[in-house]
Amino acid sequence: MEIAKGIYNIGVNDKDIDLFEGLYTVPDGVLYNSYVVIDEKITVFDTADARFSDEWLANLKSVLDGRKPDYLIVEHMEPDHSASIAKFVSEYPEAVVVSETKAFKMMSQFFGSEFSFEKLEIKEGDELCTGRHNFKFVAAPMVHWPEVMIAYDTTDKILFSADAFGKFGASDTTEDWDDEARRYYIGIVGKYGAQVQTLLKKAAALDISMICPLHGPVLKENLGHYIALYDKWSSYTPEADGVVIAYASIYGNTKKAALLLADKLRENGCENVKVFDLARDDKYEALAQAFRYSKLVLASPTYNSELFPPVRAFMDLLAERGYKNRTVGMIENGSWAPVAARLMEKRFAEFKGITLAESKVTVKSALSNESVSQIEALADELK
């Protein structure tokens, strides 16, 4: 597909994958983008997952129409983008592989120390002219691997952004960009907000007309919307006021408390209330929504004098990604020694920028007049 004059996306759809990176459900698949810039010298940006090497090479040959590429620019060494490098080099041994120091070290790790090719090592600020096009390289370490080096085409003002601004979903899906990009970002990149902020500051100095990520659609319009979302996500700023209620329940009584709180919040006029069963629902969607909204309520039974495992695991996910700048409420359940709230409070003390709701809910076995009153008080505080 030609995305600009002489610039083609030769990416491939993966509709067979069940878990991206072995963790994230992708019911609509995923797209591995790769780009070709036809110029006096021909440049290829990144490759594709190993399972699609033959399809990707066929796409490349179709665009080349008998010509040979001069450069392969490797922006990111994660195998869903780099696994076909060896096949490319075998097919086009005279092409020069362009990347940075750490990426070349990773190539020897992935493909073996005997893997040899022509290479051009670049660093931030270096430029590569291919004729009409001139590519300026911008370092993006830990967005989301340490070797990432993105490229800006100063001629057509195109940012080849590696995994930044990517999303889940194949090219033939129509799901909302924000939702699947948020789930992708929070799950995969979310820990590295400071590094994304650094990249955004660099990007602010560039006149960008198009963003070409390695996953998801090429972004040509309303770029301010996507950049603003990345700024919010990477600065850990809520997108909107709302409440996420994330619970796990053994016999259904903690679930009843969580659902009752959701009802009370809606009665109080809260328009954005999302409820997740952490034992059954997609925990990474729950995670993304927790970052989307300004308030979170965790509801957990006491289990072996600890948090119920799904809740404990969810708190680990929050901690790994630097969850902060939110208000958090708690619901605990226990028949003889409820300690879940105390344990959650102790864990949240390790987080930054967390305000704990004053109203706490303790369910002793099942809902009672007292615990219902506590739920109403929490709903009033969070509205």
CA dist 163 and 75 (Å) reads 9
Q: Which fold has domain 242-382?
A: Rossmann fold (3.40.50)
Q: What single letter denotes the amino acid at residue 160?
A: F
Matching residue, tokens 């002489």: 6
Read off φ and ψ for residue 330, nearest 5 degrees: -140, 140
SS3 state of residue 56: helix
Summarised one tens digit per residue, pLDDT across range 263-318 is 999 999 999 999 999 999 999 999 999 999 999 999 999 999 999 999 999 999 99
- Section 137-143 average pLDDT: 98
In the chain, pLDDT over 90 holds for what percent of residues? 97
State the Cα–Cα distance between residues 324 and 238, nearest whole angstrom: 10
Assess whether pLDDT exceeds 90 at residue 379: yes
- List the chain domain ranges: 2-234, 242-382
Is 114's pLDDT higher than 90?
A: no
Confirm if 106 and 123 have CB atoms less than 8 A apart: no
Alpha carbons 312 and 303: distance in angstroms, whole number:
11
Torsion of CA 377, 379, 382, 383, to 10 degrees: -120
Structure tokens at 300: 């957990």
Helices marked H in the chain? 53-64, 79-82, 85-91, 101-111, 177-184, 193-204, 223-234, 253-267, 283-292, 309-320, 340-348, 369-382
CB atoms within 10 A of CB 337: 7
pLDDT category, 113, cuts 50, 70, 90? confident
Distance CA 176, CA 255 (A): 29
Q: Look up the CATH architecture of domain 2-234.
A: 4-Layer Sandwich (3.60)
Distance (Å, whole) CA 38 – CA 19: 34
Beta carbons within 8 Å of 115's beta carbon, 6+ residues apart: 86, 89, 107, 108
Alpha carbon of residue 280 to chain centroid: 21
In this prediction, residues 340-345 reach a mean pLDDT of 97
Those residues whose C-beta lies under 8 Å from the C-beta of residue 127, and which sit 6 or more positions away, are: 134, 135, 136, 137, 154
Question: Taking the model in full, what pTM does it have?
Answer: 0.94
**Residue 175: per-residue pLDDT:** 84
pLDDT (tens digit per residue) in 19-65:
999 999 999 999 999 999 999 999 999 999 999 999 999 999 999 99
User: Predicted confidence band at 174 (pLDDT cuts at 50, 70, 90)?
Assistant: confident
Mean pLDDT of the chain: 97
Asked whether 204 and 189 are in contact (CB, 8 A), the reply is no
Inter-helix orientation angle 309-320/283-292, to 10°: 50
pLDDT at 277: 98
What pLDDT score was predicted for residue 281?
98
As a whole number of angstroms, the distance between CA 43 and CA 7 comes to 10
- Bridge-based pairing state of the strands 293-303 and 306-307: antiparallel
Distance CA 180, CA 288 (A): 9
Q: DSSP class of residue 217?
A: P
Q: What is the dihedral of CA 331, 333, 338, 344, to 10 degrees?
A: -30
Q: pLDDT tens digits, residue range 184-206?
A: 999 999 999 999 999 999 999 99
Query: How big, in percent rounded to 5, are the helix, strand and coil portions of the chain?
Result: 35, 25, 40
| pLDDT at residue number 119 | 96
Q: What is the DSSP string of 172-198?
A: T----HHHHHHHHIIIIIGGGHHHHHH
Distance, CA of 266 to CA of 12 (rounded, Å): 43
